[in-house]
Amino acid sequence: MATWEEEVEGMAIREQEEGMAAREEHNLLHTVLIREADMAAREEEEVKEGMAAQEHNLLHTALIREADMAAREEHKLLHTVLIRHHFPSRSQFEILFDPLYGLSLYIIFIIYLYYLIIT
């Protein structure tokens, strides 16, 4: 049979082993939690990077469309300028308010009235 001192010593050793096992389990739990938190942070960072890349691509698409529309509008304006340069024509508004044209219409109208009165 074991003496009282041996039993106390055995209990102390068991308590020490249990304490070490509890600390080891505690440390393992911390390690697992830290790894999970790290993985979650990495996944969140990847999601953020993906969203940033998608936003970047959308911005590029919008800028390209805007530049394309501006280029098309500029192209149309250039065609309009070239057509007006090669085929100058005056609008009805310009013709009606041109003094020389108005005077010539007035003279033609007077001659026409004179012709109607004579005949």
Q: pLDDT exceeding 70 applies to what percent of the chain?
A: 87
State the amino acid at position 51 in one-letter form: M
- Average confidence (pLDDT) over 23-45: 92
Residue 84 has pLDDT above 90, yes or no: no
Residue 1 has pLDDT above 60, yes or no: no
Confidence of residue 93 (pLDDT cuts 50, 70, 90): low
**Which of 8-22, 24-38, 82-96 is predicted least confidently?**
82-96
Domain borders along the chain are 4-88, 90-119
pTM recorded for the entire structure = 0.41
Give one DSSP letter per residue of 2-45, joined into a string: --HHHHHHHHHHHHHHHHHHHHHHHHHHHHHHHHHHHHHHHHHH
How much is the pLDDT for 2? 64
